Structures are given as C-alpha cells and as structure tokens.
Amino acid sequence: MCEGYVLEWLDTLVTVTLNPVKTKISIAITDDVATIQDQVIVQKNKVQSAIKSTVFTLDDEAKIKCLIKKYHSSLITLLDQALEDMALIADNGPIRQVLSTIVSCLDELLTLIEHRFTSYLSIEERVPATYLNGVKKELSKRLSVIDKKLRGYAAYQPSFTILRQELEKFLNQPSDKHTYIFQEILYIKDLCLELERLEPVDSNAAYSKLDELLINMNFNSKTYIYNLTERLATNVNDIEQPDAKMDSLLFYLKLFKQYHKKPGIIFNRKDADLHKQVSNWFTQEVFYLEKQIHYSIVPIKGVATPKEVVQKEKIKLLSILSVDQMALILRAADDLKIVMARSLNSVFKNIVPYLSTPYQENISYDSMRSKSYSAETRDKEIVIETLQQMIKRISDY
C-alpha cells in the first residue's frame, strides 16, 4: 500500500486554501502565483510517481485495482472542486491562473490513469456531472481542431461530418435522457486521440484512412454504416458487367476483413458492432450478384417472336411509414418466414413496386433493401410503436 495521502497538499489547496466559500483569498503578487504554480507541478509529478509505483511494485491485483480506483475518484473530486472554485472566482486573475494550472495538472493525471491503467477502472460507473461538463468542452474543442486539419481533404469529409455530428449529438443528450458512464467517455477520448494522430492523405481508395480508423474503433453509428455501404455500392454499380461487379465487391470485402477491430470497444452499446452489420451487407450483396450472374448465363433455347406486352399501371398502396421503416418490416417478415421467397431481394422486388409514401411515389426496391441493414434507432422505435398499435387493434376485434 502507498504510504500516506499523496494528494494531501493538492487537496488542501483546492478544497480549503483556494475555495472562496471557506477562505478569504488574497494572492496579488506575481511571485506568489509563480511559486504556487511551480509547487503544483512538483506535487503533480509526485502523484504521478506514486500511481506508477502502485502498479509496478504491488503484486496483489486486487490491491492495485482498489488503489487506482481511489486515485481516479479522488482526482475527479478535486477536479470538480477546482472547476467550482474557478466559477466562483470570476474577477481574480491571479487565483484563476493558479486554478487553471491545477485543472491542467489534474487532467494530466486523469489522462495517465485512463489511458495506461484502464483495466483497473470501473468503466461502468456513472461520470460525475462537473467532470462530465469539463470533458464535453474539452472534446468539443478537440473536434474543432481536428475538423480544421481534415477540411482540405475531400475523401475524409463525408465520414468526418457524420462522425462529428454523431459525437456532438451523443455528448449533448439531456441528463434526464441519458446517464453517461466512463466507458462511453473513454471511448470518445480514445477516438479523438486517434483522430489527432491521423495523417490525412489525398486518395481515391474505397476506404479512406479515416474509414480504416472508424472500422478499427468499431464506430457502429447507423448513419456512418449506411454512408459507407452506399459509397461502396456506388463504386460497384458504376461497373456494367456482373462478373466485374462481383470481382470489385469481393475485393472490397477482402479489404474490409483485413481491417481488425480493437477488442472490447464500441460506440453505441445498444446496436450490433460495425463488423457484423457491414459483413451482413456484403453477404446480401454477394448473394444478389450471384443470382444476377446465374440468370445472365442461362442459355437461350430458342428465339421467339416478341409479343406486344401491354403493361397495366400498377395500383400502389400508400403507406404513412417511411421507406426505411417499411424496409425494417419487410426484412423482419422475411427473417421470420412470414412471407416466403427465394431470397430477401425477391421479397423486396415483388412487394416494393406496389408501395408508395406521401413523399415518394416510386420506390427503388434495391435501395429499400439496402436501407434495411442500417436502420436508425428512431425508425426502429416508430416501427415497434406501430406494431404495438396493430396488436392492440387486433385484440379489440
């Protein structure tokens, strides 16, 4: 066990000496500020050494985990208090200067623990509110800097735009709607760190360096996965011959399989991981192309005189559900064998031409099929709510 309380000096400085609620503070001399700041850095180095010593000198994993958790929670408590002190001292420049140094040092110590000793933390614990607010501001600034770095690279724009929107939407959820845990915050911190390390290059490759990173980080945003598969589908569909299309699709699949995924991490814990969703999309696309190729090479036994075909205008059913929502229902119906067909593609091909929405008269069955693999959470909720209303109505019959 570590001797004494190595955070004692910093603790007293933050919770008592610089706390305007408990002490009348008067630091006016520049030399005093510089001296205190120097001492803060000395104490930070002392705590840093103590943390490392805890891990490398103790043999008992349980004791190490206990001490690392204590350091982490104590540092967060001190950071919360330092931020509260700063909020209360708006007009005292020297004290704010000292507190700013303290906040920076505490953040450095937390970063050390969160990056090097993550395995000893309880990542399912709730993130304290004050600490969370500080982290949100820090991450927002980092994303702005990364945005400027990538702005001149067209190949990175679609993915990064989605990435930033998804992260900002996630970080700005109301406290009554979402309880943040350390696992989520650590994921975003790690992702920002990797983005900062990313060296952008101009490239026309199917997967950009940013795509490789997001695949590696298991960034399973539905919007991003849909964008990625749409870009791949566009590249494949630009090729006319089915055989050449298949070669291209299999090449993209091979590349995708070669990008490994970091174990134990995921952006959205409520959805399937990125590899599973994209692999499922590839499976369906390969199956669809195989059928196309098969039917294109069936020999013609004879040439018949073409008959005039009079196409009757299809009478379409109007649905209040969106294309994405109808896609979910049809896919589920196929999975549960409520409707029977040779393939999922056949289900969409035979049903979709007879459907329309208030905003879309002619719906592409191929597009709807693709959307069934990358549904938004809100679309799922609407479909489930609609089905529950149908269940209630059937119960009333």
Q: How do residues 378-395 score in pLDDT, each as one tens digit?
A: 888 888 988 988 898 888
For the cut 70, the answer to whether the pLDDT of residue 122 exceeds it is: yes
For the cut 50, the answer to whether the pLDDT of residue 300 exceeds it is: no
Q: Pick from 92, 191, 95, 88: which is nearest to 142 by CA?
A: 191
Residue 163 sits in the same domain as residue 277: yes
At residue 308 the predicted structure's pLDDT band, cuts being 50, 70 and 90, is very low
Percent of the chain beyond pLDDT 90? 28
Instruction: Report the pLDDT value the prediction gives residue 27, as an integer from 0 to 100.
Output: 56
Residue 117 sits in the same domain as residue 186: no
Domain final position from 103, 122, 141: 122
Q: What's the whole-number average pLDDT of the chain? A: 84
In a domain, 310, yes or no: no
3-state helix, strand, coil in the chain (%, to 5): 65, 0, 30
Residue 139 sits in the same domain as residue 272: yes
Domain final position from 122, 142, 161: 122
Residue 141 sits in the same domain as residue 277: yes
Instruction: Report the pLDDT value the prediction gives residue 4, as an integer from 0 to 100.
Output: 65
Read off the pLDDT of residues 320-367 as tens digits, 9 standing for 90 and up. Answer: 788 888 989 999 988 888 888 888 888 888 899 889 886 788 888 888
Domain final position from 296, 329, 348: 296
Domain containing residue 241: 132-296
Question: How many domains does one find in the chain?
Answer: 3
Q: Pick from 30, 28, 135, 49: which is nearest to 92 by CA?
A: 28
Q: Pick from 288, 234, 229, 291: which is nearest to 256 by CA?
A: 229
Indicate the residue type of 270: K
Q: Which residue has the higher pLDDT, 246 or 298?
A: 246
For the cut 70, the answer to whether the pLDDT of residue 168 exceeds it is: yes
Residue 325 sits in the same domain as residue 378: yes
Residue 191 sits in the same domain as residue 324: no
Residue 277 sits in the same domain as residue 357: no
Q: Tell me the CA distances in angstroms from 72 to 19, 39, 140, 155, one per residue in order.
A: 21, 21, 23, 39
Instruction: Report the pLDDT value the prediction gives residue 256, as an integer from 0 to 100.
Output: 94
In a domain, 2, yes or no: no
Residue 172 sits in the same domain as residue 67: no
Residue 12 sits in the same domain as residue 112: yes
- Measure CA of the first residue to CA of the last residue in the chain; give whole Å: 70
Residue 140 sits in the same domain as residue 277: yes
Residue 141 sits in the same domain as residue 181: yes
Q: Which residue has the higher pLDDT, 80 or 119?
A: 80
